[in-house]
Amino acid sequence: MYINEHWKNFEPIDRKWHYLIAFIYFVIGVFGLITNFMVFYYLLKIKSVKRPGTYFLINLAIADLGKILSCLPMNAVSSYYQKWIFGQLGCDIYGIAGGLFGFVSITTMVFMSIERYLMIKNPLFALKLTNRTVLFCILITWLYSSLWIFPQLTLKNGFVLEGLLTSCTFDYLSRDSYSRLMIMFLFIGGFFIPLSLIGIFYILLFVFLKNNTIFRSYRERGNLKTQTELSIYFKTSDSSNKYLTMKLPNTNNLISSNSNISKQSDSESINTNSKYNSFIKREVKVAKSIILIVAMFCIAWLPYAIMALLAQYIQEDYLIKYVTPFTTSLPAIFAKTSSIYNPILYTLSNKDCKAYFKMLFCKKIFSFKQKNTDPNGLKIIPSETRLYTNINRNNL
């Protein structure tokens, strides 16, 4: 296999570091499998969360699982043996899988950001979004990611060993014109463009929220306690059903001027606006979760991207100083952790999801089918069963 001359300038590291890295990869793989399978189970089991947008979460989990199953075992085994043992074919498979699944993740986040923006701007968009549309978008994520990663095979050396020589990547050390073109091709298309689109749609989202009178009225309406005050506030909205952001006038005067409004219409107005506000709040919370995921994705992958660009453009005198086996291996390890926190941040942190798995935990720990009766023949319901029933009722 091809090994760049740059890596031959460094002495082999102690085997204990290889064992430590193998253990880290093992832990990441185990936790990644558990969390992503939990996401699969929850999204496919619970009918209330089955909507077209859910397929984006499933696609994200597939990408994370693909990265775990295809890359981490090779990393762990090679680190244990202190050398790459899968040959050039394994190196190419490793490089393609790592790049493809990583790009699918961030491209999926692009479509998730677009969906959040359209859902918040126009809640009726949820009715227009079909399974066919979402599946077509998912197909685009795979085709787009393949477009940027497979051309790397056309490089002179294909995918090559890096750092500690127990993992593979694209050849970011060769400085010929074609290699440099492929590296910029990969960076711009697979990282910069998706990240820019995500930023654009979230900027549009926050501009919309800032200018929307519904959100500007949250703080003002927070001081309104009674149903009468709320109904009066809602009745002072304009014809387009957007709430005024002026200070609430004197309540007594408003009550006298609107005495002809029936209590039934007041209640309907409150219920309608409350439902819409709840929907908006929920969508904003989801949007914040996506922002957090994207931020963590950048934190995970940006150091590796910077290291690759640094290796390509830094002066030769500084190359040995800054591009070392450790400075390239640590960002690669940190990047793998995205397979763990993606499912935790977006799906498993949801309160309904946590309640569901708490319910399953209680169900497994306690035997709910056991029939206990007292001497009078009355059935005794254990406290654990009541807990399970309450959790189950809250999720209906």
Q: What is the pLDDT of residues 200-211, one digit of tens each?
A: 888 887 777 777
Per-residue buried b or exposed e for 185-205, using 16+ beta carbons within 10 Å of the residue's own CB: ebbebbbebbbebbeebbeeb
Tell me, what DSSP letter sits at residue 154? G
Of 154, 174, 21, 26, the residue nearest 95 (C-alpha): 154
Of 72, 73, 68, 74, the residue nearest 89 (C-alpha): 74
Confidence at residue 325, expressed as pLDDT on a 0 to 100 scale: 87
Residue written as token pair 């996506």: 290
Q: What is the pLDDT of residues 337-361, one digit of tens each?
A: 888 887 887 677 767 777 777 777 7
Say if residue 114's pLDDT is above 50: yes
Confidence at residue 380, expressed as pLDDT on a 0 to 100 scale: 44
Per the CB < 8 A criterion, the answer to whether 147 and 79 are in contact is no
Confidence at residue 248, expressed as pLDDT on a 0 to 100 scale: 41
The whole-number average pLDDT for the span 107-121 is: 86
Where in the chain are the domains?
5-215+290-349, 218-270, 364-394
Cα gap 235→118, rounded to integer Å: 27
Q: Report the DSSP pairing between strands 379-380 and 372-373.
A: antiparallel
State the chain's mean pLDDT as an integer: 75
Tokens of 299: 């934190």
87 CA to centre of own chain: 33
Compare 151 and 259 and report the one with higher pLDDT.
Answer: 151
Percent of the chain with pLDDT over 90: 12
Compare 218 and 280 and report the one with higher pLDDT.
Answer: 280
Overall pTM surpassing 0.85 (yes/no): no
168 CA to centre of own chain: 25
The whole-number average pLDDT for the span 265-285 is: 58
Q: How many CB atoms lie within 10 A of CB 351?
A: 9
Say if residue 9's pLDDT is above 70: yes
- In the structure, what pLDDT confidence band is assigned to residue 318 with cuts at 50, 70 and 90? confident
What CATH fold (topology level) applies to the domain 5-215+290-349?
Rhopdopsin 7-helix transmembrane proteins (1.20.1070)
Confidence at residue 139, expressed as pLDDT on a 0 to 100 scale: 95
> CB-based contacts of 330: which residues, under 8 Å, 6+ apart?
none
Per the CB < 8 A criterion, the answer to whether 156 and 179 are in contact is yes
10 Å CB burial of residue 25 (0-12, 13-18, 19+) is buried
